[in-house]
Amino acid sequence: MSNITPRVDVAFKKIFGVEENKDLLISLINSIVGEEDQVSEVTLLNPYNPKNFKTDKLSILDIKATNRDGKRFNIEIQISDEADYDKRALYYWAKIYTEQLKVAEDYSKLSKAIGIHILNFTSIPEVKKYHNVFHITEKETGLLYFKDLELHTIELKKFSSNSDEGLADIVGKIKNALDVWLAFLTRNDLLTLDNLPKELNDPNLKKAINVLNVMNFTPEEREAYEDHLKWLRIETNTIKNYEQRGEIRGRAEGRAEGKAEEKIKIAKAMILDGDSVEKIAKITGLAIAEIDKLNS
């Protein structure tokens, strides 16, 4: 059992975004996409590189890959519920689709692009299922004509949001290969290699658990991980408090105000931890003048 959580994007990419673990990435992709898009081999287009931590925006460490027939995949795990997430998901899909085409190449060279977004928050409160698949279809007939666009959202909290759940509760939810991966992503703290129930006795899961158990961070990686973990913990507690007070009702009008309060709460926590004003500004997006007021 590791004290590192794979839900933090830094750890997620160190598990699934390196050459030696491409089998885990293939397993994860195949547990999500349909039969026609199953892959047997992938090429990482942006392999894990700790140097990127200094430039990557918080919670946006994505994995880009392509398979033998040219299909492209963009896989990311997102810690926090940022404003206009849906628009950013489309933007990322558009980037991975259009960057296939070199100058003077024909449009026929374009292959299907699939966006996979693993979310540590509820983005679609209107439905209970955790895995939703989106295409462009004709409004009246439902005809799927533009076949190159496909977006998946996987909301982890719909699979497991109760910290009091035990291993038996998690096992009771295992119905398919994606459930196995969600058990790992949400409750890796319950999984040990020497005591896995038959429902979780999967070689890819075992390798992922082992990778997590032996994972070591450089000082730069550790700093990035702790920063993102802090965000994850504070956001989780903030959302829980809002829910208890009845202030979260789907995508209600008060969301913008709630996000501002959340940033202030994160900034105050970081001030208590002794973080620099510049670091707080970078993570929360607050102006330095606002942070100085909180610190006075």
Among 158, 191, 213, residue at a domain's last position: 213
Q: How many residues does the chain have?
A: 296
pLDDT in tens, 78-102: 877 766 788 889 999 999 999 888 8
For residues 58 and 266, is the Cβ–Cβ distance under 8 A? Answer: no
Do 107 and 223 belong together in one domain? Answer: no
Q: Which domain holds residue 200?
A: 9-213
Do 52 and 195 belong together in one domain? Answer: yes
Do 192 and 82 belong together in one domain? Answer: yes
pLDDT in tens, 131-160: 999 999 999 999 999 999 999 999 999 999
Among 213, 240, 267, residue at a domain's last position: 213
Q: How far is CA 86 from CA 34, 90, 115, in A?
A: 22, 7, 12
Tokens read off for 108 = 């026929």
Per-range mean pLDDT, top range of 168-177, 210-219, 262-271? 168-177
- Average pLDDT rounded to a whole number, residues 26-32: 96
Tokens read off for 228 = 């993102």
Q: Where are the alpha helices (DSSP H) in 188-254?
A: 203-213, 219-244
Among 195, 213, 231, residue at a domain's last position: 213
- What is the rounded distance in angstroms from the CA atom of residue 70 to the CA atom of residue 110? 8
Q: What pLDDT is attached to residue 241?
A: 52
Do 50 and 192 belong together in one domain? Answer: yes
Q: Is 4 domain-assigned?
A: no
Do 194 and 249 belong together in one domain? Answer: no
- What is the rounded distance in angstroms from the CA atom of residue 232 to the CA atom of residue 59? 9
Q: Is 3 domain-assigned?
A: no
Do 203 and 167 belong together in one domain? Answer: yes
Do 73 and 135 belong together in one domain? Answer: yes
- What is the rounded distance in angstroms from the CA atom of residue 143 to the CA atom of residue 47? 37
Do 166 and 263 belong together in one domain? Answer: no
Domain tally for the chain?
Answer: 2
Which range among 21-30, 132-141, 217-226 shows the weakest confidence by mean pLDDT?
A: 217-226
- What is the rounded distance in angstroms from the CA atom of residue 14 to the CA atom of residue 22? 11
Do 126 and 48 belong together in one domain? Answer: yes
